[in-house]
Structure formats: structure tokens, C-alpha cells
Amino acid sequence: MAASAQKTQTSLIYRLYQWRLRKQLNQDQLPSHIAVIVDGNRRWAKQRMLEHAAVGHRAGAKKIPEFLGWCAGAGVGVVTLYLLSADNLRSRKTSELEELFQIIGELAAEISEIPGWRIQHVGEPELLPSQLRLALQTAEDKTRGNTGLHVNLAVGYGGRSEITAAVHKIVENHKQRGGTIDDLAEVLTPELIGEHLWTGGQPDPDLVIRTSGEQRLSDFMIWQSAHSEFYFVEALYPDLREVDLLRALRDYSRRSRRYGA
């Protein structure tokens, strides 16, 4: 009985703290696009003496729809989730990758069932197995007309590869129109490159969050994050709480953005 009462008291304190954090947010200065480096799933499993990293990846995937709901509730319009990098595809064991491919495919299908949300894959489809490519494409097609929360799933993604692909596309389009190298030099601008990125047409992330205490970009949205604010969370991703997001939003809303100045 005492344990139950203590649990109820802890829950009440937590809800009061959430309410307090929400009251401290500057509603006129909240991010429209949050990019998240989902990190710490493997360490989460290791800390619990679990043999398979897939257990941590599944715990992280279970948290994602909840996290997206928190973002949507806060009025965020776009969320980009860095789930699997191109570097991961070269460095992880085949058995772990195969399990991760299945988990991401299932996650994409789950999110696609949420009314109003739209899914977009950002990354190199040719790096992924056919089953995962199909799962991501199916989720995209199913949600294409939705106008609610826009969810970018960065899978097989690398920032340098994205910029390279954008420049290649610009050069190819210019060549098809009969342009010359001299002409291209005149029209090649940061704005044009931005339009041809995998996130072309979307706002750049206002806030980049990384979990697990690591403080590096890991080749994530290196073009789009030129003027982003950064926030690092100690919690491993499966342990992330709504108060962690609210703290990040509070911190962001109190900053004076300088855009490189």
C-alpha cells in the first residue's frame, strides 16, 4: 500500500513538473522542424545485460510514435528521425542490420496508420534491402496526401552523400537543358542546392536533438543544420521522457537565434 501511494505521489509530481515546463514555453518561439539523432539503443540493451542489440532497437522503436505525439502536441510541423546512417550499413554486423531493417519497416508501417501524419524516406534507397525499400515506399504512398505532422525517416542516410546527390542532379538537369559549365557556375547557389536535397521544399531544422549524451552530428543534415540550435540529452533514447523534450523546447524558446552572426 505504501509503495502504491509513493508511486501515485511520484506520478503526480511528474505531471506537475510537465505542467510547469509547458507554462514556461514561449509559444511564439518554438521550432517548426525538429531533427533527432536517435542514439543509445544498443547501450540501453547492454546496460540491462541483454545479449541482443535488437532488444534495444525495438525499445527505441516503441518510443518513437510516443515521441512524435509529444512533438505534434507541441505544435511542431516536421520531425526528422535519424534511424540508420550510411556509415552504419558499412560498420554493423549483418545479423544486427537484418533485425534493424525489419524493425524500421514495422515502424514505418505503424506510423503510417496514425491519421493525418505523412511519412517521407530520406536517404539512399539503393543501399537498403528490397523489403525495407518497399516498406518505406508503401508508407510514403499511403500517407502522401496527409497534411498533419510530417515525419522524415532518415534511413541509409549520409549528409555528404545527400549534398553530392543534389549537385549531381543539378548538373544533370542543367546538361539536359543544353547548359554549359560556365552557365552552371552562374546559377549554382546555396538556394539551388537546398532545393535539390532529399528534404527539398521543407524548412531546415530549427532544433537538432541528440540523445545518449554524445555531442556530434555524425554526418546528419550537415547542410540543413548550418543555422540550427543544438540540444544534447543524457538519456538513452528508449528512456526518453516527455519532460526531456519539454526541457529542450524551453531551452530553445529562451535562446536568441543569431543565424551565424
Catalytic positions, written as ranges = 39, 88
Spatial separation of the C-alpha atoms in residues 27 and 25, rounded to whole Å:
6
Residue 139 CB partners (closer than 8 Å, separation 6+): 108, 109, 111, 112, 119, 121, 153
- Closest alpha carbon to 238 in 72, 116, 60: 60
Give 26-79 as a DSSP string.
Answer: -TTS--SEEEEE---HHHHHHHTT-S-HHHHHHHHHHHHHHHHHHHHHTT--EE
